[in-house]
Structure 1
Amino acid sequence: MSLAGLCRRGWAWAPALLLALLALWSYYAYVVELCLVTLTNSLEKVAYLTVFHVIFVLFVWAYWKSTFTPPQQPDKKFHMSYADKERYENEERPEGQRQILAEMARKLPVSTRTGSGAIRFCDRCQLIKPDRCHHCSICAMCVLKMDHHCPWVNNCIGFSNYKFFLLFLAYTLLYCMFIAATVFKYFLKYWTGELSGGRSKFHVLFLLIVSVMFFVTLTFLFGYHCWLVSQNRSTLEAFSAPVFPNGPDKNGFNLGVGKNIRQVFGEKKRLWFFPVVSSQGDGHFFPMRTLSEARNPLLANEEQWEEDDGVDDNHHDYHHSPSLSVEIDT
């Protein structure tokens, strides 16, 4: 890798590193400067430290998982085989290339289209895009159910880590709210001079200011993502509705609030609040609100996919239709 590439990669970690340093400072300021130095009531000190550490562990755990969980890429069945790639590259006629890609798409469970109604194909990754999959130019890969690329975790948020990202936002909000609520009384005491100044005063004052600032900012972001989950949309789909064979439909994946939540967090409610894998499916297949066998007579290919891929009965609602045209993503 060139020096410029190394510099870009290092610079990309700057926001995440800043957030990590801020979290470390907040830990020191709260535990040492507030609880160990400022507080005098032993019972209050133990209660604050106990609750703080529970929230802090959940916050760091979710942040770690959001940052270091790799974005999941499409299965090899969506990639061009060596023979198809050779045929595609040797075919000089655009019509012939489109026919090769159309033959590939007929074997795959894809339902969404481009705005012009064409099959979604990524020329950079050489694959037919699964439903809700998009190419991330920063990660240089196609990401299953891509939501957005987040600079604060230096990672692409998609199917593999969207639950972790939501929990990261939730526990960051809870972390800031707890700090602000417990620090406020001592902020006033330092401000009015009831407590003597010194190093602790500086840390306590800034703890409140920073926690309130982040709390207000993240409230809107977390609220927005809660709305997205309730509607079963990604950030990209909220800005541009997915296109189906019958046209755009912003509610195409909306199954109702309860089912939408379970699709992200899973069936086991005891796992909802922990950053562990529990989301439904594998990121390639998504049930659709308006799609049924009665309205889609082209489901014969689904049986062929299941025989080839070994898809279990849990995915019987994930339908597809063959492609009639192809548009290349460049």
Structure 2
Amino acid sequence: MALSRALRCCQRIFSWIPVSIISSVVLWSYYAYVFELCFVTLSNDLERVGYLLIFHVCFIMFCWTYWKAIFTPPSSPSKKFHLSYSDKESYEMEERPDAQKQILAEIARKLPICTRAQSGAIRFCDRCQVIKPDRCHHCSVCETCVLKMDHHCPWVNNCVGFSNYKFFLLFLSYSMIYCVFVASTVFQYFLKFWVGDLPNGPAKFHVLFLLFVALMFFVSLMFLFGYHCWLVAKNRSTLEAFSAPVFQNGPDRNGFNVGLSRNLQQVFGEDKKLWFIPVFTSQGDGHYFPLRTLRESENPLLANEGKWMEDGGSDEESADENGPSVIIRTES
């Protein structure tokens, strides 16, 4: 027991190493740009003020989005998706797999669930004892089920999912802007140091490394950001891009693709003025999502969260009618 606790403690410590590396590079870049470039190298006061003003705007937005991506906890399924004590007891006492699947299917009738496991059964997490909502997956690092899980990112030491996917995208975009601004403003002084127009000194090496580091990070971020832009446009997560979600009629990579405009709104919200600010504006609560070939008006469970019932006579009959009638029509 003590050994396992020590191993978990070491794992938590080591998991912060990538974040520490990024933070150290960013702090060094701040010192190199502000002090070595602006205060030591630049001689034009107007140019210095302009550079410092724009740099600090980029730096603040980068730090803000990075902070939000790191410290926004991943959202987990609500209590409605957890098994009740009686359901859990029935599930655990039943030894036949087919009977267990039937128990989960009966419970899932009252929940807005459209996706299935590869076998066609209701997706269930044995470790969290929860019926998985659509697009929810278990993260072995965070040790919890994460709503609309995209991936676990070591560079933010957090699981990227429904609650912080917008922050992660903004972090990537402001990182690129930060790198582009640093590289573009440093380039002319890089050339001057290189050809010997400026005197040698500590500032020379800081300016030279600033350009190399900014370009290196920009190239790597550009491919990652472009990939996630494609995912947002298609309304897919990284996991769904590798393994298509399975519906009642089979796998469909475009099952959640409801058009570019609505796909963007699901992540960034309807108010475009808030798209580039790291505040949560994503639509919904992460438990259900509109489907490409099924309008919300055709499925009351998806249109109204109030339709979710724990139990009840007439309500249960309504849920039974709505549950099996969900049909996913795929296009060839």
Question: Does 1 or 2 have the higher relative contact order (CA < 8 Å, sep 6+)?
Answer: 1
| Match among 89, 94, 104 for residue 97 of structure 2 | 94
- Contact residue 107 and residue 304 of structure 1 kept, 8 A: no
1:63-93, Cα deviation, whole Å (9 max, x unpaired)? 0000000000001110111121122222333
What residue is the counterpart of 1:78 in the other structure?
81
- Contact residue 36 and residue 203 of structure 2 kept, 8 A: yes
What residue is the counterpart of 1:327 in the other structure?
none
Q: Gapped runs of 5+ residues in structure 1? A: 311-319, 324-330
What residue is the counterpart of 1:317 in the other structure?
none
Partner AA of 1:170 in structure 2: S
What residue is the counterpart of 2:319 in the other structure?
none
Distance in 1, Cα, partners of 2:105 & 2:194: 70
SS of the residue corresponding to residue 294 of structure 2 reads coil
| Match among 253, 257, 260 for residue 254 of structure 1 | 257
With normalisation by structure 1, the TM-score equals: 0.90
What residue is the counterpart of 1:217 in the other structure?
220
Matched, 1:279 2:321: no
| Match among 188, 192, 196 for residue 189 of structure 1 | 192
Distance in 1, Cα, partners of 2:61 & 2:302: 41
Matched, 1:29 2:32: yes
Distance in 2, Cα, partners of 1:115 & 1:308: 25
Aligned residues: 312
Distance in 2, Cα, partners of 1:38 & 1:231: 46
Alpha-carbon offset, residue 230 of structure 1: 0.6
SS of the residue corresponding to residue 119 of structure 1 reads coil
Partner AA of 2:97 in structure 1: P
Matched, 1:17 2:20: yes
Distance in 1, Cα, partners of 2:324 & 2:10: 44
Over aligned residue pairs, what C-alpha RMSD do you find? 2.1
Alpha-carbon offset, residue 56 of structure 1: 0.6
With normalisation by structure 2, the TM-score equals: 0.89
Distance in 2, Cα, partners of 1:6 & 1:220: 34
What residue is the counterpart of 2:171 in the other structure?
168
What residue is the counterpart of 2:121 in the other structure?
118
Distance in 2, Cα, partners of 1:309 & 1:52: 52
| Match among 129, 135, 138 for residue 138 of structure 2 | 135
Distance in 1, Cα, partners of 2:189 & 2:117: 57
What residue is the counterpart of 2:306 in the other structure?
306
Distance in 1, Cα, partners of 2:280 & 2:303: 28
Distance in 1, Cα, partners of 2:25 & 2:301: 52
Distance in 2, Cα, partners of 1:19 & 1:255: 36
How do 1:52-71 and structure 2 match up within 5 A?
Answer: 52-71=55-74
SS of the residue corresponding to residue 142 of structure 2 reads coil
Report percent identity of matched pairs. 65
Alpha-carbon offset, residue 302 of structure 1: 6.3
Distance in 2, Cα, partners of 1:239 & 1:7: 31
- Contact residue 125 and residue 141 of structure 1 kept, 8 A: yes
What residue is the counterpart of 2:315 in the other structure?
none
What residue is the counterpart of 1:39 in the other structure?
42
How do 1:221-232 and structure 2 match up within 5 A?
Answer: 221-232=224-235
What residue is the counterpart of 2:316 in the other structure?
none
In structure 2, the CA distance between the partners of 1:24 and 1:200, relative to structure 1 (3 Å rule), is same
How do 1:99-110 and structure 2 match up within 5 A?
Answer: 99-110=102-113
What residue is the counterpart of 2:330 in the other structure?
none
What residue is the counterpart of 1:316 in the other structure?
none
- Contact residue 61 and residue 275 of structure 1 kept, 8 A: yes
Distance in 2, Cα, partners of 1:13 & 1:84: 39
Distance in 2, Cα, partners of 1:247 & 1:135: 22
SS of the residue corresponding to residue 40 of structure 1 reads coil
Distance in 2, Cα, partners of 1:181 & 1:300: 53
In structure 2, the CA distance between the partners of 1:304 and 1:189, relative to structure 1 (3 Å rule), is closer
In structure 2, the CA distance between the partners of 1:293 and 1:70, relative to structure 1 (3 Å rule), is closer
What residue is the counterpart of 1:314 in the other structure?
none
Distance in 2, Cα, partners of 1:302 & 1:65: 29
Alpha-carbon offset, residue 3 of structure 1: 1.7
- Contact residue 71 and residue 160 of structure 1 kept, 8 A: yes
In structure 2, the CA distance between the partners of 1:175 and 1:241, relative to structure 1 (3 Å rule), is same
